[in-house]
Amino acid sequence: MKKNKLLVIIPAFNEDKVIGKTITAVMAAVPEGTSVLVVDDGSNDSTGELAKKAGAIVLRHPINRGLGGALGTGLYWAKIKDFDWCVTFDADGQHDPRDLAKVLEPLYSNSADVVVGTRTKLGWREIPGDRKFILSLSNWLTWWLFGIKTSDSLSGFRAFNRRAIEKIQLRTDRMEVSNEFFSEIKRHKLRLAEVPIRVIYTDYSRLKGQKNSNAVDVGVKLLLRLFR
């Protein structure tokens, strides 16, 4: 059976204000034949309908499971549909689609199994102070738990080759999934690369990201889920 090539996975919850624009921008930046999958995580707005109208494949959760649940669905779909590579990409406009080629290059050259687009190499000064604190804490937690040093453990811009797609199994449903990816990287001895990306912060994207108030809760859930 001939494999599909590239899949871009966009997890989305109540993103009808931006989802069409995000999909259009992604499609303009990827090679012909690339599939865009939106995992509509139980939205109660028109996210799914607008995503379909923009040309994406849409899978819908009947209830809101959380970021981890949406990413798990997307990666499982990439696995059963036999894609060579997949990328996770935020719906809220924080990522620049022009960085897709850069993030995919280590996979195409077979120098990595997983690539993380890191916001800190090009735009550390642009990251708001409160987010810097959360990111630094998360990076430390990732190193402490898994022995992996990363400059952006919370980046939603990631790319995976076929080996990673087949191996990674996510068990967390919420925001702690960002750290769980590194657990899977270590468990399966996957090769990791980091690539600098541009970050685009807007008032809207800041509202949609991880809240400062639940950072400790995310850490506790991560520990409980991974070590139970």
> What pLDDT, in 10s, does the model give residues 79-114?
999 999 999 999 999 999 999 999 999 999 999 999
Please answer whether residues 170 and 180 qualify as being in contact, where contact means their C-beta atoms are separated by less than 8 angstroms. yes
Side-by-side strand order, sheet with 4-12: 57-61, 35-41, 4-12, 83-88, 158-161, 114-118, 192-196
Maximum CA extent, the chain: 50
Count the neighbouring beta carbons within 10 Å of the beta carbon of residue 98. Answer: 12
Beta-bridge mates of residue 160 = 86, 114
Burial of 28 by CB count in 10 Å (0-12 exposed, 13-18 middle, 19+ buried)?
Answer: exposed
What separation, in Å, do the N-terminal and C-terminal C-alpha atoms of the chain show? 39
Q: Indicate the average pLDDT of the chain.
A: 89
Q: Where are the alpha helices (DSSP H) in 30-154?
A: 47-53, 67-80, 100-108, 120-123, 129-146
Please tell me the distance from the alpha carbon of residue 212 to that of residue 201, in angstroms, as a whole number.
16
> What pLDDT, in 10s, does the model give residues 176-191?
999 999 999 999 999 9
Q: Show the domains of the chain with their CATH numbers.
A: 4-227 (3.90.550.10)
CB-based contacts of 113, cutoff 8 Å, min separation 6: 107, 160, 161, 163, 164, 185, 190, 191, 192
pLDDT < 70 regions, the chain:
1-3, 121-131, 203, 205-228
